[in-house]
Structure 1
Amino acid sequence: MDTEKCLNYQKQFFIDFAQAWHDRSDLELYRKIDTTASSLRLETSEVPAYILAYDKQAQAELKAYLQKGLTKWLRTYIPFFEINSEGVVMFGDWYHRRQFGVLDVWNRQIIQTDELQQQILPELEGYEKDNDNYLQNRLDQLHEQLYQEANELHADLDRATENADSAVAQSRLNRDKAPQQNSGRLKNLLNFMDSNSGNEETNDSEAATPAPNTAEIADLKTRFTAAKQLADTHYDEQKRQLEVEVAVIRYEYQAIVNQYSSLTQFENALVHIQESYLDNLQVAPNLASKGDDQHA
């Protein structure tokens, strides 16, 4: 394309875009944004700045207009989502509701910007797999996590106590064997050498038996008691919080299955927001300005 043709193309593009804005045609505005992104290999979010000469006020005006139409449509497409003027998408209208994401007006998507938002769908998937036992499974996981240190100390205490009991039992066994080896004065006399040897073995055996480490056991008991008390406190606190979280997940799931045949269908609807919205604009190209008395 030579220079003149290129300039004419650019001129016609801006004339068409200006007409689409004058007509408040959401459909044509989005079509031209998408076409420009494709032809110039730009991110869709970069195109409005390019078209509007990087004027911040003009970009904000265009975004606010297009967001108005997209929000109207989303209220029917996903009716349990609430979207404020800042594009924040909230899941439901119940107490402790969660932020699902933020509206991306240029790309016509809902994006999840942090870990809390990104874990909503996986949690719903987990709930769908076993909703009857979901709460108890989460509580079991929490218990295992919080009581890990206490359980390890308890195991150490059991081992130390068992070793101490074994040491005491061995010591008693050694003492019980000693009189049998010294019975009979005559036998001792006749087996003088053997008896001395046996006594030496007994003494060696007794010396080899370690004394119970009572200090270690007392220390383990103290540490175990403290760890368990701390785990009890944290578990009681977090159990209530987890019960509330699971109740919210239950509300969310129920809202989804009341509107869609399954969680999978809902996830599919999220993925295809852009295509579905453009299909809707084929029927109602002026959705944002529909119902307005005059153009902004």
Structure 2
Amino acid sequence: MSIEKSLDYQKRFFTNFAAAWRDHSDLDLYRGIDATADALRLDLSEVPGYILAYDKQAQAELRAYLQKGLIQWLQTYIPFFEISSDGVVMFGDWYHRRQFGVLDVWTRQIMQYADEERQILPDLENYAADPENYLKKRLASLHDDIFADADHLQSQLEKAQHQEAEQPEAPTRSSRDRNSSGGFKGLMKNLIDQPDSQTAEKPQTPENGTIANLQAQLKTERAAAQARYDEEKRQLQVKAAVTNYEYQAIMSQYSSVTQFENSLQHIADSYMASLEAGPQLAAQKGSDDDNA
């Protein structure tokens, strides 16, 4: 493309973009942004700065305008989302509701930056797979994790008690006296029966102090584990209840969690299709609200 053609192209582009802004055409504004991103191989977030000569105030004004229309449409597209004026997307209106993400005006997508936000969809997928046992399975897993150390101590204690029970009783004094009696014959018998310290090893036996120590450790560990489990169990129950609310909200609008996820992936396409069907709809709605 020659310099003259390039300048003519830019002139037409900026003339059309200015007309779109003057006419409050969200559709043409987005078309201009998308076309520039494709032509210059820029991220969509970089385009407004390029178009508006990196004027931050102008970029903020354009963003605020486009965000207003996008939020109004999205609250109809996914009615159980509540979206603040700055684009924070909350899932539902119930207590302990979760933040789902943040609306990106340029990409027309809900971005999930925090781990808690990215965990919502996997939670819903797991819940949808087995709603009846969702909480039960999570509580069982929580119990196993928290009581792992206590269970290990219990195993050690049982092993020590088993070893102690298997040891023969020590001979009494009377039996030793009888074995020692008999004069020379008894003396020879004792010498013959004496175990060879070089060849025979005494079996290792747990000391009573070891067993008592394990019992004390186990008691302390179980008490601590139970207290921790009771606390985290309540938190898990609340989280499961919130996931249930989210699931019920989804199923009231969609046939499955998968369909809901599919709609999230196509927010940008669906919004552009909506603008093509009625490009002035968002702006008109905003004007009606201002005049009310």
TM over 0.5: yes
Q: Secondary structure at the match of 1:245?
A: helix
Q: Quick check: 1:153 aligned with 2:153?
A: yes
Q: Secondary structure at the match of 2:106?
A: coil
**Equivalent position of 1:64 in the other structure:** 64
**Equivalent position of 2:280 in the other structure:** 286
Q: Quick check: 1:233 aligned with 2:227?
A: yes
Q: Secondary structure at the match of 2:283?
A: coil
Describe how 1:43-54 pairs up with structure 2 within 5 A: 43-54=43-54
Q: Quick check: 1:224 aligned with 2:193?
A: no
Mapped partners of 1:294, 1:137: distance in 2? 48
Q: CA deviation at 1:6?
A: 0.9
Q: CA deviation at 1:3?
A: 1.1
Mapped partners of 1:21, 1:279: distance in 2? 19
- For structure 1, the residue ranges without an aligned partner over 5 or more in a row are none
Q: CA deviation at 1:207?
A: 7.2
CA offsets 1:33-71 (integer angstroms, 9 cap, x no match):
000000000001110011011111111111111111111
**Equivalent position of 2:23 in the other structure:** 23
* Residue 257 (structure 1) aligned to one of 248, 251, 255: 251
Whether the aligned pair in 1 keeps the contact of 2:180 and 2:190 (CA below 8 Å) is no
Mapped partners of 2:289, 2:229: distance in 1? 59
The letter for the 2-side match of 1:76 is T
Q: Secondary structure at the match of 2:24?
A: coil
**Equivalent position of 1:164 in the other structure:** 164
Identity %: 52
Provide the TM-score with structure 2 as the length reference.
Answer: 0.90
**Equivalent position of 2:103 in the other structure:** 103
Whether the aligned pair in 2 keeps the contact of 1:66 and 1:288 (CA below 8 Å) is no
CA offsets 1:165-191 (integer angstroms, 9 cap, x no match):
223xx245x77xx78x969969x94x9
Mapped partners of 1:126, 1:217: distance in 2? 43
Moved over 4 A (4+): 181-186, 202-207
Q: CA deviation at 1:150?
A: 1.1
Whether the aligned pair in 2 keeps the contact of 1:89 and 1:101 (CA below 8 Å) is yes
Mapped partners of 1:5, 1:160: distance in 2? 90
Mapped partners of 1:236, 1:294: distance in 2? 50
Mapped partners of 1:72, 1:22: distance in 2? 20
Q: Secondary structure at the match of 2:103?
A: strand
- For structure 2, the residue ranges without an aligned partner over 5 or more in a row are none
Q: Secondary structure at the match of 1:9?
A: helix
Cα gap change, 1:277/1:128 in structure 2, threshold over 3 Å: closer, same or farther? same
* Residue 269 (structure 2) aligned to one of 275, 286, 290: 275
Whether the aligned pair in 2 keeps the contact of 1:26 and 1:287 (CA below 8 Å) is no
Mapped partners of 1:38, 1:196: distance in 2? 101
The letter for the 2-side match of 1:264 is T
When the two chains are superposed, the root-mean-square deviation of aligned CA atoms in Å is 2.7
The answer to which structure, 1 or 2, has the higher relative contact order (CA under 8 A, 6+ apart) is: 1
